[in-house]
A and B are shown apart, each in its own frame.
Chain A
């Protein structure tokens, strides 16, 4: 199961951390605002009480006149405005603002703040003995002030939260672009592309990854090149002595033609040929494995076929039996390595020569839809045998048996270059025969 993407994980983590921080900040700002607003409003009440101190004396001396003046000065009935009362020693109201209740605030007669359901009241002993100045702030005013202050402080913070999510998203995507390009470059490297990752000025954090991948690719390329070189050298080093042994044995066999040892000599010649063929196929298998991943040249398969057809037609057992029909345009471009494609087609033709009916033609049909079909005459190959033929060391029949590696090599190469090998028997529209169909991917 694929895990969540790094980008979404980063966005989620950054956004949630940011939200938590915003929330924490908002709570802190709210608490601080509440504290500060309380303090400022209390200061204001206190200040009002102190300003009323001088008025206490006049209020005691001329209560009627002061009351009227007080009504004129504070004529508002706004329920949010501060209300005050000057209360006498017996609890009577000597003077009050218009919006103050007609009965004294139900608070103890001692200096300081007192909270009652509708007011926060500040009591201040007046200049005259036994008198108290009581300034009340309506609770509704304080609540509104607090609500407004908190809203003004925390609101913008909460408003910026979704915006910050978009910014985080944008920043993460932008920062991950380099990683994305690197990922895509590495993703393009496979068995058929081992080229170095180009330097595109990646961030310092990614540079070591890029360098490490490039070192690995270089090492892999060197290993494959060594393997190819080994296969090529082995071919030379192995073939020449086998050729010498075979040639000498053939001479000996000719000299022993009339002797009792003739049969044994002929047997040894055949054994050497078989050994030679097996060694060749094993080398081809090794080369195909190492070579298919190395190069992705644009190869015209028709040129390869032309060389091979020319070679096979020179063989006495093939000659004009090999018939080529090209339905495609002038070229058939395939991406791969020339020699590996050569090995592939050679094995198919050899397979047709080896197992095909010697009296029947071997047809090579180059189709328009990027297919090459090789058809040869033979008895019907059972369907259960067909699929096993692609496995190494499995032969279709014992007559003219080879190493059982030819079709395995073809299948391996076709898979590596992104194509396919399909085996069909009998050939469509015929009562017998065998068809090997190669389908090549589009060249880039």
Chain B
């Protein structure tokens, strides 16, 4: 998942970025709304973590603008305002979830996953792909009932493909979902991850569609 984080407190922002990244997601972090606005227009994000009080404006105005132009990007608000009226205002503005500071970093990942599941049709808790079973919530993959350990990045690749179950996903799309701005990507990184996944879950788990990309096999 590629996540946009807008948070002006540097220590909090860096910690959230690091923790969400450790869960296998790519995180672009901005401390101001203006560069975030450019980013959201140019990159296809899977979720937005949004602070409300920012140096150059209110997060809620940013969110309203997003919704007015029809952007359905899942949004989780991170705020110090915990009142019911603030929460109602946030949800009315189009937020999908609301986390009050201070929060547990694991809670952020859990909420991101929950929001993502709601948006990308992963309401089915278990996806069966041939002999492979994918449990989205617990992030467990089983081959013939035997649990296998996937790294965060490997699971992220599986998630990107699983989210677009019926489509072919290009290498660039996978890169976009997995790597934030400025992160070093080797030209064959995706191939390496696909290869590792195939070794664990079987050759037919991911099919290569020549010249187009990858999709989950069946």
**Same assembly:** yes
Asked if A242 is at the interface of the complex by the 8 Å CB criterion, the answer is: yes
Asked if A250 is at the interface of the complex by the 8 Å CB criterion, the answer is: yes
In the complex, which residue of chain B has the Cβ closest to the Cβ of A342? B84
A244 and B84 within 8 A (CB) = no
Which positions 223-258 of chain A face chain B at CB distance < 8 Å?
Answer: 232, 235-248, 250-251
Asked if A42 is at the interface of the complex by the 8 Å CB criterion, the answer is: no
B contact residues, total (Cβ < 8 Å): 30
Q: With the chains together, A308 CA to B91 CA distance in Å? A: 12
Among A240, A308, A314, contact of B111 (Cβ-Cβ < 8 Å): A314
Q: With the chains together, A342 CA to B88 CA distance in Å? A: 11
Given known contacts A236-B53, A240-B80, A241-B9, is B102 in contact with A276 (CB within 8 Å)?
A: yes
Asked if A363 is at the interface of the complex by the 8 Å CB criterion, the answer is: no
Asked if B105 is at the interface of the complex by the 8 Å CB criterion, the answer is: yes
Main secondary structure of the interface of B (DSSP, over half): helix
Which positions 42-85 of chain B face chain A at CB distance < 8 Å?
Answer: 53, 80-85
B15 and A235 within 8 A (CB) = no
Asked if A280 is at the interface of the complex by the 8 Å CB criterion, the answer is: yes
A242 and B87 within 8 A (CB) = no
Q: Which residues of A contact B53 (CB under 8 A)?
A: 236
Asked if A316 is at the interface of the complex by the 8 Å CB criterion, the answer is: yes
Asked if B191 is at the interface of the complex by the 8 Å CB criterion, the answer is: no
Q: Mark B176-210, 1 if CB is under 8 A from A, else 0.
A: 00000000000000000000000000000000000
Among B10, B88, B101, contact of A243 (Cβ-Cβ < 8 Å): B101
B105 and A250 within 8 A (CB) = yes
Given known contacts A244-B12, A248-B11, is B85 in contact with A339 (CB within 8 Å)?
A: yes
Q: With the chains together, A276 CA to B80 CA distance in Å? A: 12
A contact residues, total (Cβ < 8 Å): 34
Asked if A394 is at the interface of the complex by the 8 Å CB criterion, the answer is: no
Asked if B110 is at the interface of the complex by the 8 Å CB criterion, the answer is: yes
Asked if A311 is at the interface of the complex by the 8 Å CB criterion, the answer is: yes
Q: How far is the CB of A154 from chain B (nearest CB, A)?
A: 77
A240 and B9 within 8 A (CB) = yes
Asked if A399 is at the interface of the complex by the 8 Å CB criterion, the answer is: no
Number of residue pairs spanning A and B whose beta carbons lie under 8 angstroms apart: 86
Which positions 359-412 of chain A face chain B at CB distance < 8 Å?
Answer: none
Asked if B98 is at the interface of the complex by the 8 Å CB criterion, the answer is: yes
Asked if A304 is at the interface of the complex by the 8 Å CB criterion, the answer is: yes
Q: With the chains together, A311 CA to B83 CA distance in Å? A: 12
A307 and B105 within 8 A (CB) = no
Q: With the chains together, A334 CA to B16 CA distance in Å? A: 40
Q: Which residues of B contact A314 (CB under 8 A)?
A: 97, 111, 114
B80 and A247 within 8 A (CB) = no
Among B9, B85, B110, contact of A316 (Cβ-Cβ < 8 Å): B110
Q: With the chains together, A93 CA to B54 CA distance in Å? A: 132
Q: How far is the CB of B13 from chain A (nearest CB, A)?
A: 8
Q: Which residues of A contact B80 (CB under 8 A)?
A: 235-240, 243
In the complex, which residue of chain A has the Cβ closest to the Cβ of B114? A314
Q: With the chains together, A248 CA to B10 CA distance in Å? A: 11
Given known contacts A251-B18, A314-B97, is B81 in contact with A235 (CB within 8 Å)?
A: yes
Given known contacts A243-B12, A244-B12, is B105 in contact with A251 (CB within 8 Å)?
A: yes
Asked if A83 is at the interface of the complex by the 8 Å CB criterion, the answer is: no
B110 and A247 within 8 A (CB) = no
Q: Which residues of B contact A150 (CB under 8 A)?
A: none
Given known contacts A244-B12, A250-B19, is B97 in contact with A239 (CB within 8 Å)?
A: no
Q: With the chains together, A326 CA to B56 CA distance in Å? A: 44
Asked if A338 is at the interface of the complex by the 8 Å CB criterion, the answer is: yes
Residue from B88, B97, B100, B102 having most chain A Cβ neighbours under 10 A: B102
Among A236, A272, A311, contact of B98 (Cβ-Cβ < 8 Å): A311
Q: Mark A334-346, 1 if CB is under 8 A from B, else 0.
A: 0000110111001
Q: With the chains together, A338 CA to B110 CA distance in Å? A: 29
Q: How far is the CB of A338 from chain B (nearest CB, A)?
A: 5
Asked if B104 is at the interface of the complex by the 8 Å CB criterion, the answer is: yes
Among A242, A248, A280, A341, contact of B82 (Cβ-Cβ < 8 Å): A280
In the complex, which residue of chain B has the Cβ closest to the Cβ of A246? B102
Residues in chain B within 8 A of chain A (CB atoms)? 9-12, 14-16, 18-19, 53, 80-85, 87-88, 91, 97-98, 100-105, 110-111, 114
Can you spell out 5 A-B residue pairs with CB atoms less than 8 angstroms apart?
A247-B105, A250-B104, A250-B105, A307-B91, A339-B83
**Known A232-B81, A250-B19, A311-B87; 18 more pairs at CB < 8 Å:** A235-B80, A235-B81, A236-B53, A236-B80, A236-B81, A240-B12, A244-B9, A244-B11, A247-B12, A247-B15, A247-B16, A248-B14, A272-B102, A280-B82, A307-B84, A314-B114, A339-B83, A342-B85
